[in-house]
Amino acid sequence: MTQHLETGKKAEDIAASFLLEKGYQILHRNYRYGRAEIDLIVRKGIFLVFVEVKSLTNTKFGMPEIGVNKHKVAMITKAADFYVYKNNWHQQIRFDIVSVVFKSNTFEVTHFEDAFY
C-alpha cells in the first residue's frame, strides 16, 4: 500500500473513532455507488450523515478540507441520493467533513458539520 493510501486509511480510522466518541453510529465505511465513494455514513438521532474524510501531513498550501471541490461534492451527493432512496430514509440528512492533520507523532481532528451548504 502506498504512503498516501495508508495515510488516508489511518485518517478514516481516526475520523470513525472520533465520531463514535461523539455518539455517532457507524453504518458504512467506503460506500460506493458507481464511481462515487462516501468515506463514512453515520447516524446520530434523526440525522443520517455522509462524511468526507480529508487528511494531510503538511498544511503548507492549505488545510485538508479545501480538497473537497465541486466535483467531489457532486459525486458524494449523487451517491447519497441513491443511498437515501435505496434505504427509504425519510428523516434529516447532512454532509460533513472531518479533517485530519498529521503532525510528527500526533494529529489534529476538525469536524465541519453541514459542510456542503
Domains and CATH numbers, the chain: 3-112 (3.40.1350.10)
Q: How far apart are CA 110 and CA 18, in angstroms?
A: 10
pTM of the shown model: 0.93
Task: Output the average pLDDT for the chain.
Answer: 93
Instruction: Report residue 77: phi and psi, to 5°.
Output: -60, -40
Give per-residue pLDDT as tens, 52-92: 999 998 888 889 999 999 999 999 999 999 999 999 999 99
**CB neighbour burial string for 75-88, b if at least 16 within 10 angstroms, e if fewer:** bbbebbeebeeeee
